Amino acid sequence: MTAAGFSADVRFVIAALPQPAFLYTPDGIVAVVNSAVERMASTSLTGRTVEEVIASLGVSQPDGTPIAACDLPALRALARQMVTDCPLVITAADGTFYAIRASSFPLLQDGIVVGILSGWSDVTALSRVLCDEKRRRSEAEAFVKREEAIAETLVQQNEELLAQDEKFRQHLEEQVRNQKAFVESEQRVRRTLDRLLSPGRELPNFELAVTSSISGCCRN
């Protein structure tokens, strides 16, 4: 079936659509395209196969991998599938990149597929917005992770400083206890000496010997 095989109404609808639109024959040959398709391809695609359409417009998967002809919505519709909003990317003849959503529907007459209607919706602007949003979200998540890591490091460092302070406090307390014990011991020694050296006190032989020894050391 050629373009003449489709009614004038169908061809008129295809031509009036603002978005790229194709009408394929049951053999997968382009029968009718509108001006939006011709502007992208910079050439007529009428009479071309699906494979030639893929090559002319650089049709690929969203991640840039090539798409097999059997996976193109137009050929899937030949198997009576109604394909809607299939994400694809194309590169126009002038090098412009487009993100599109492709939809294809079989045209049936008496239960027989007599053609395929395919339309492309340009979602490039939306795709860029979504990519920017994804990038900003990724950057925000990375920023939050960095801040959380910094906060965790600061908490760990603070805990280490607190532990060091606690050890230092315990060390000071031990020094104070030792100093206190030393002072108390010194005071006991002083009291003992004072008692032993008190004037007029009759000293026992042992105390007298100690006192004499201490006095002798002091004179020397």
Cα(116)–Cα(79) distance, rounded to whole angstroms? 10
Q: Hey, CA dihedral for 207, 209, 212, 216, is it positive or negative?
A: negative
CB proximity list for 214: less than 8 A, separation 6 or greater: 193, 196, 197
- Distance between CA atoms of residues 112 and 78, nearest Å: 10
Q: What is the CATH number of domain 3-122?
A: 3.30.450.20
Q: Where are the domains of the chain?
A: 3-122, 130-214
From first to last of the 220 residues of the chain, give the pLDDT tens digit. 544 566 677 777 787 788 899 999 988 899 988 888 888 888 888 899 888 888 888 889 988 888 888 888 888 888 888 888 899 998 888 888 889 899 999 988 888 888 899 989 888 766 666 666 777 788 788 888 888 888 888 888 888 888 888 888 888 888 888 888 888 888 888 888 777 776 655 545 544 455 555 555 545 5
Pairing mode, if any, of strands 21-24 and 112-122?
antiparallel
Please, are residues 99 and 62 in contact by the beta-carbon 8 Å criterion?
Answer: yes
pLDDT computed for residue 130 by the predictor: 62
DSSP-H helix ranges across 42-197: 50-57, 73-78, 124-196
Q: What is the pLDDT of residue 101?
A: 92
Question: Can you tell me the distance from the alpha carbon of 211 to that of 209, in angstroms, rounded to the nearest whole number?
Answer: 5
Residue 104 is predicted with a pLDDT of: 92
Which of 125, 104, 124 lies closest to 116 in space, CA to CA? 104
What does the CA dihedral 66, 68, 71, 75 come to, rounded to 10 degrees? 130
